[in-house]
Amino acid sequence: MQRGSFQWMKSLNKSIILNKIRIDGPISRAQIAKETELTPPTVGTMVKELLAQGLIKESQLGASQGGRKPTMLVLHVQGFHIIGVDVGPSQIRFIISDLAGEIADELLQEIDPSIENEAFLKMLKQGIQLLMNQHPSLQFIGIGVAMHGVVDAEQGISIFAPNLDLRDIPIKETLEQSFAMNVKVENDAKALALGESWFQVGTAEKSMIAINIGQGIGAGMVIDGKLYHGEHGIAGEIGHMMIDLRGKKCSCGNHGCLQTIASGPAIADRAQELIDAGNSSILAQQHMPLTAEMVHQAAVAGDELARAILHEAGTYLGIALANLIHTFNPGFVIIGGGVAKAGSYILEPIMEAMKSRVIYDRAQDTVVQLSKLSDYGSSLGAVALVLSELFQPET
Amino acid sequence: MQRGSFQWMKSLNKSIILNKIRIDGPISRAQIAKETELTPPTVGTMVKELLAQGLIKESQLGASQGGRKPTMLVLHVQGFHIIGVDVGPSQIRFIISDLAGEIADELLQEIDPSIENEAFLKMLKQGIQLLMNQHPSLQFIGIGVAMHGVVDAEQGISIFAPNLDLRDIPIKETLEQSFAMNVKVENDAKALALGESWFQVGTAEKSMIAINIGQGIGAGMVIDGKLYHGEHGIAGEIGHMMIDLRGKKCSCGNHGCLQTIASGPAIADRAQELIDAGNSSILAQQHMPLTAEMVHQAAVAGDELARAILHEAGTYLGIALANLIHTFNPGFVIIGGGVAKAGSYILEPIMEAMKSRVIYDRAQDTVVQLSKLSDYGSSLGAVALVLSELFQPET
DNA sequence: ATACTTAATTAAGAGATTTAAGAAAGTAGG
DNA sequence: CCTACTTTCTTAAATCTCTTAATTAAGTAT
């Protein structure tokens, strides 16, 4: 679209109206005009077009304000659907979502650890095709892919996926050729952040940060409803934020990275270490290698050692969060990923450590919440990638 | 301006053209049309208006491309002037700058440490008036104020200025009443960042961060040419980034904040501490209390202890920088403030520590430079506050 | 039943960009 | 030196979208 042209201005105004309906609907034409400061005729013509496109629909009549009843407009959430794909360390999750983030269907597939680029792309294509075939009546408008590791979001390439040991996978190009629709690719932590901002925080107006704690620790930042990538696309790689100069050695070669204390594997390792040192715990009876999940379950069961370990991890996360608040100062923080399942056992020490370290009173009240999207966080984030382009095209 | 109206679009297009001339001038109308994708008639009418406003002027004729010679357009840098004010811990610097950041005149005044709000505001007004009176022929379009401490940039209020122990000073309101022109107020580290981005980095396209190391350590972040404030306006308060869990106690009550190691006072304290412990150094002969400036001079003179201290401070700064790159991932980093005067004695260990800790090759090449604006950084930043509004009005 | 409100649409008017054409100023070749 | 061709810039009519004003539609209230 030619920037600065009439068409461009029109599409911008149209987006404003569409977004208004999405966020504040059901809403009448008259109220849209009031709140957006556009004139009633402008709103009228735009609404007519949006109705024709099938993006919105008229619902019931609203209550009278002393005159004619307004016809309320709402997003036609079932009008179009989106495919969301979340490529994790060991499995791929495919979902079909409507425009409101309601999941209509899903598919989970295990990844062969020795998979190669070609087979991986084929697996993606087949999974998507399978889901689409099962819902021939639905109209799909885009595919979003959340991928762990380093991603070039602009090109739509997975540059490096450490857990699969794959490099330079041209995901966007391949899928756009196969399905002839808009494809967005993004790092999973960033997708999670957008998803949370889109479906949970709601308006996506505030700056927010979503921290994904699993095998590693990553974060995504949303500013004014848009993902922030940084110069090299590595903004949010907080797993390697140094917290403790003289701490444990990290896989990256440095010491005291956040990952060495608060990631899933770090929690499991720490438990093993303390048990080996002779501390008593119900975890000592485990025959399988310990996982963070087991530590959490032990904590729920009342195990003191497990609780202490989670408390320690939470404290470090809280310190890291204080650092983030002192640098990025988000209005909203979401904790997601596997470790977030430990619930209050991890959230409480996080809050405690954060509050005691943030030096501005008002910033101490930064809202911190556990993700409610659970296992669907990243896949819904992938959906949000497509939605964010549909609803707020580039200025 | 009504968003989404013709006037709004026009002013936007006008800004685009003005900016094009500012950055790429001298440039012809034809070339502006090509590069901005606006049509020649549109560019023509806008240019006519900008010429009438006195913001740009026609310079010489350019070289022929095989036809009529183009008339080149440049920013009329002397057409308007701006007052920049930098309120430091002990003095106020007033400057007059043209649109290109050339300083036409300046004024430096000492602040009485026991000053109160009223007297402070009076001092500001008198300083500005004095400078303006000395240049009656100049046309002033705005006043920018860079203030240390916590600032509410939107309201234009200095909320807390620790070094002067002042609170809630309504700077913007007062100055706008007195001088009837646009007044912008901002934290000094943030102003410095904008100034560096505006006058040094040039295009202000990249994301960048400017770190101001003096009494404390603060940073300002510029994203897409705009200052980033965060939710509570404390984004960039990196002085309290925790680096060393078991480090020194900071004035904020926590341990291991960056400030406790790398600020000016911390460097001086560290020197005193090591000398008291019996280390030999030419600084030991000093009778006055040590300052970071003295440590720097001793380092230049070859003093091993001084060099070691600066190396240590630089290393910690480098670690903090690595943390920033892993979270904010700026394309450009500027080190300013008093400690930056230590030059390579501080920059080299910063780079060394940063490069060894950043885990992505490309990010290791993040450009890090010492500020070249020296003592004028914050005051030119204050000027940039006004300029940024003039040249890129809110979308 | 009449007057007043509010909601939505229609019709004419205004503002800014675009398309198309022309004027101005140079270059280049014969 | 004159003509043909380029490039730059301006002018004039056409087009697009928003705005203002008036109209229709549908309720509420006395």
Whether B206 has a pLDDT exceeding 60, the answer reads: yes
Q: Which residues pair with B98 in a beta bridge?
A: B81
B41 preceded by a cis bond (ω within 30 of 0): no
Whether B78 has a pLDDT exceeding 90, the answer reads: yes
Query: In this structure, are B53 and B151 located in the same domain?
Result: no
Predicted pLDDT of residue B208: 93
Among partner residues A13, A223, A240, which is closest to B359 by beta-carbon distance? Answer: A240
Report yes or no on B94 lying in a domain. yes
Q: Is the CB of A1 under 7 A from strand D?
A: no
CB spacing of B207 vs A16 below 8 angstroms: no
Q: How many CB atoms lie within 10 A of CB B245?
A: 17
Q: What is the biggest distance separating any 2 CA atoms in chain B, rounded to whole angstroms?
A: 79
Report yes or no on A386 lying in a domain. no
For chain B, percent of residues with pLDDT exceeding 90: 70
Report yes or no on B1 lying in a domain. no
Query: In this structure, are A247 and A332 located in the same domain?
Result: yes
Amino acid at B243: I
CB spacing of A327 vs B235 below 8 angstroms: yes
Q: Which of A38, A197, A359, A361 to mutate to test the interface with B (most CBs of B within 10 A)?
A: A359
Of B314, B295, B290, B315, the C-alpha closest to B306 is B295
B157-204 residue pLDDT tens:
999 888 888 999 999 999 999 999 999 999 999 999 999 999 887 655
The CATH number for B216's domain is: 3.30.420.40
No. of H helices and E strands in chain A?
Answer: 13, 16
Query: In this structure, are A273 and A358 located in the same domain?
Result: yes
Integer Cα distance of A340 and B366 in angstroms: 33
Integer Cα distance of B21 and B28 in angstroms: 9
Whether B395 has a pLDDT exceeding 70, the answer reads: no
> CA of A245: how far to CAs of A140, A267, B169, B323, in Å?
50, 19, 40, 12
- Give the torsion sign (CA, B293, B296, B301, B302): positive
Q: Taking phi first (over 0 means left), then psi (-120 to 50 degrees means alpha), and beta for anything else, what does residue A208 get?
A: beta
Q: Is the CB of B1 under 7 A from strand D?
A: no
Q: Which residues of B touch A36 (CB under 8 A)?
A: 4
Among partner residues A37, A236, A244, which is closest to B327 by beta-carbon distance? Answer: A236
Q: Is the CB of A70 under 7 A from strand C?
A: yes
Q: Which of A201, A224, A253 is the last residue of a domain?
A: A201
Q: How many CB atoms lie within 10 A of CB B268?
A: 19
Sheet with A367-370, edge to edge strand ranges: A226-228, A217-223, A208-213, A332-336, A367-370
Q: Is the CB of A6 under 7 A from strand D?
A: yes
DSSP B168-187: EE-HHHHHHHHH-SEEEEEE
Query: In this structure, are B297 and B263 located in the same domain?
Result: yes
Query: In this structure, are A247 and A295 located in the same domain?
Result: yes
DSSP B209-222: EEEEESSSEEEEEE
CB spacing of B242 vs A37 below 8 angstroms: no
> CA of B207: how far to CAs of A230, B328, B377, in Å?
7, 9, 18
Integer Cα distance of A20 and A238 in angstroms: 34
Predicted pLDDT of residue B62: 77
Report yes or no on B23 lying in a domain. yes
Q: Which of A37, A43, A232, A392 to mutate to test the interface with B (most CBs of B within 10 A)?
A: A232
Q: Which of A140, A174, A201 is the last residue of a domain?
A: A201
State which H helix or E strand residue B103 sits in: strand B103-110
Q: For the residues B29-43, what does the mean pLDDT come to?
A: 93
Asked whether the beta carbons of B220 and A312 are under 8 A apart, the reply is no
Report yes or no on B66 lying in a domain. yes
Least confident interval from A55-69, A372-386, B27-41, B48-62: A55-69
Residue B215 binned pLDDT confidence (cut-offs 50, 70, 90): confident
Whether B218 has a pLDDT exceeding 60, the answer reads: yes
Report yes or no on B101 lying in a domain. yes
Nucleotides of strand C within 7 Å of the protein's CB atoms = 4-12, 15-21, 24-28
Q: For the residues B206-229, what does the mean pLDDT come to?
A: 91
Report yes or no on A393 lying in a domain. no
Cα dihedral value A142, A148, A154, A160, nearest 10: -130
Range of the domain at B250: 208-373
The CATH number for B18's domain is: 1.10.10.10
Integer Cα distance of B241 and A17 in angstroms: 42
Residues 11-50 of B with CB under 7 A from strand D: 28-31, 40-41, 44, 47-48
Asked whether the beta carbons of B76 and B55 are under 8 A apart, the reply is yes
Residues of chain A where predicted confidence (pLDDT) is lower than 50? none
Nucleotides of strand D within 7 Å of the protein's CB atoms = 5-13, 16-22, 25-29
Q: Name the domain count of chain B.
A: 3
Integer Cα distance of A99 and A81 in angstroms: 6
Residues contacting A394, CB < 8 A, separation 6+: none
Q: Which residues of A300-337 are buried (b: 16+ CB within 10 A; e: fewer)?
A: eeebebbbbbbbebbbbbbbbbbbbbbbbbbbbbbbbb
Q: How many CB atoms lie within 10 A of CB B150?
A: 18
Asked whether the beta carbons of B185 and B158 are under 8 A apart, the reply is yes
CA of B41 to C1' of D11 (A): 9
Q: Which residues of A touch B219 (CB under 8 A)?
A: 327
Q: Which residues of B touch A235 (CB under 8 A)?
A: 327-329
Q: For the residues B128-152, what does the mean pLDDT come to?
A: 95
Residues 325-364 of A with CB under 7 A from strand C: none
CA of B66 to C1' of C28 (A): 9
Query: In this structure, are B360 and B214 located in the same domain?
Result: yes
Whether B286 has a pLDDT exceeding 90, the answer reads: no
Q: Which of B259, B359, B368 to mutate to test the interface with A (most CBs of A within 10 A)?
A: B359
Query: In this structure, are A67 and A165 located in the same domain?
Result: no
Report yes or no on B21 lying in a domain. yes
Q: Which residues of B touch A38 (CB under 8 A)?
A: 4
Predicted pLDDT of residue B250: 87
Integer Cα distance of A200 and A202 in angstroms: 5
CA of B242 to C1' of D13 (A): 67
CB spacing of A327 vs B240 below 8 angstroms: no
B327-358 residue pLDDT tens:
999 999 999 988 888 888 999 999 999 999 99
Query: In this structure, are A151 and A283 located in the same domain?
Result: no
> CA of A180: how far to CAs of A51, A140, A176, A177, A183, in Å?
24, 10, 5, 6, 9
Cα angle, residue A174 at apex, residues A170 and A176 outer, rounded to 5° = 120
State which H helix or E strand residue B83 sits in: strand B81-87
Query: In this structure, are B294 and B332 located in the same domain?
Result: yes
Whether B65 has a pLDDT exceeding 90, the answer reads: no
Query: In this structure, are A185 and A88 located in the same domain?
Result: yes
State which H helix or E strand residue A49 sits in: helix A40-53
User: What is the bridge-based pairing of β-strands A367-370 and A332-336?
Assistant: parallel
Predicted pLDDT of residue B203: 59
Predicted pLDDT of residue A256: 87
B83-120 residue pLDDT tens:
999 998 889 999 999 999 999 999 999 999 999 999 99
Residue with smallest Cα–C1' gap to D8? B68
Query: In this structure, are A25 and A89 located in the same domain?
Result: no
Predicted pLDDT of residue B186: 97
CB spacing of A357 vs B254 below 8 angstroms: yes
Predicted pLDDT of residue A205: 56
State which H helix or E strand residue B58 sits in: strand B56-61
Of A263, A264, A265, A307, the C-alpha closest to A283 is A307
Integer Cα distance of B43 and B46 in angstroms: 5
Q: Which of A201, A223, A252 is the last residue of a domain?
A: A201
Predicted pLDDT of residue B245: 82
Whether B145 has a pLDDT exceeding 70, the answer reads: yes
CB spacing of B245 vs A247 below 8 angstroms: yes
CA of B64 to C1' of C26 (A): 7
Predicted pLDDT of residue B394: 66
Sheet with A157-161, edge to edge strand ranges: A150-152, A157-161, A166-169
Q: How many CB atoms lie within 10 A of CB B102?
A: 13
CB spacing of B16 vs A9 below 8 angstroms: no
Q: Is the CB of A5 under 7 A from strand C?
A: yes
CB spacing of A326 vs B241 below 8 angstroms: yes
Q: Is the CB of B11 under 7 A from strand C?
A: no
Residues contacting A322, CB < 8 A, separation 6+: A353, A354, A357, A358, B240, B242
Predicted pLDDT of residue B202: 63
Extended strands (E) in chain A: 27-28, 56-61, 71-75, 81-87, 91-98, 103-110, 140-147, 150-152, 157-161, 166-169, 182-187, 208-213, 217-223, 226-228, 332-336, 367-370
Pairs of CB atoms within 8 A across A/B: 155
> CA of B295: how far to CAs of B89, B214, B359, in Å?
21, 14, 32
Query: In this structure, are B353 and B239 located in the same domain?
Result: yes
CB spacing of A245 vs B244 below 8 angstroms: yes
